[in-house]
Amino acid sequence: MSERITILGAGSWGMAVARLLDQNGRDVTLWAYDPREYYKLLQERGDSAKLPRLHLAPTIEITNDLAASVDDSDLVVLAVPAQYLRSVLRGVGSRIRPRLGVVNLAKGIETGSLKRMSEVILEETSVPIERVCTLSGPSHAEEVALDMPTTVVVAGSSDHLTSRVQEIFSCLVFRVYRSSDLVGVELGGSLKNVIAIAAGIVDGLGFGDNTKGALITRGLAEMIRIGATLGAKPETFAGLSGLGDLVTTCCSRHSRNRWVGEQIGMGKKLHEILLNMSMVAEGVETTRSSYSLARHCGVEMPITAEVFHVLFDGKPPLEAIEQLMGRALKAEVWRQTD
């Protein structure tokens, strides 16, 4: 018997995952928040502005009824942007009682609370931690929708759940590994977006491969540093949700976070950039929350701090880079004060 899967969120990633799971033989329901988006999906079975070449098969049910969409589901997949996840769950949290569990796809840290997405899920639903997992890794929706080979990782505290999710999502073009390090996988997928904004700034300023290679390496060091402080395994950041996603997001033409940084580097203002975007760049708010998290934990994250000052304090990007390059010289030892 095919699993009944509800996907909350009909953005580019939600649509791509709906198509993937439908092709894997699952019974898929896709919930769209915006009524206009819902009617467009019903009529066109896709969204040419987000994923021009994606078509949603008639076997995928599309709904605008949040409460009814989660009833009688085996698996609930959350494809809602990180900063909106709590408000969505508050409207339906008590009705989310999937037979298998909840799979989070959002990559972010909640502004204000500084919570990871699994923590938000636990606070807003009655689903126990053993039934909560996060799927993350280098997985641009634009490429998944075209069946380009993609590999990700699913993390959770239950081997049974992560194994089942691995089986449900995997196919010849989408391979899933599993991990028990939920903290590390969630932080990796979130923090890399901040470094991707920095990578975009580097591109916008016209710098080259030397600069970006150094940025990715030192950005990874920051991710490991805060991750270890919060209980993650350092080796997780060498995996798909860490280094894999970091390199992809920092270099890809599909990356909205890299694009935001590029526009900043070219001299545009953040509010102008965001005003003209139809999709969410998670790294903007994650910059705010990760900067606050680093200060709260007493962890040095100089790249994150400079991205924060550029985005929210109006610091000139060249001045931020000079600040990073002019820091005290030291050995390359990845520790809390490196």
Q: What share of the chain is helix, strand, coil (3-state, %, to 5)?
A: 55, 10, 35
Structural tokens at position 96: 């989310």
CB burial readout 238-260, b (16+ within 10 A) else e: ebbbbbbbbbbbbbbeebbbbbb
Q: Among the options 40, 50, 115, 192, which is catalytic? A: 192
Q: Give yes or no for a contact between 307 and 197, defined as CB atoms under 8 angstroms apart.
A: yes
Residue with tokens 């069946």: 147
Strands (E) in the chain, as ranges, are 4-8, 27-31, 61-63, 75-78, 101-104, 132-136, 150-156, 174-179
192 is catalytic: yes
Phi then psi for residue 199, to 5 deg, are: -65, -40
Q: How far apart are CA 4 and CA 7, in angstroms?
A: 10
Catalytic residues: 192
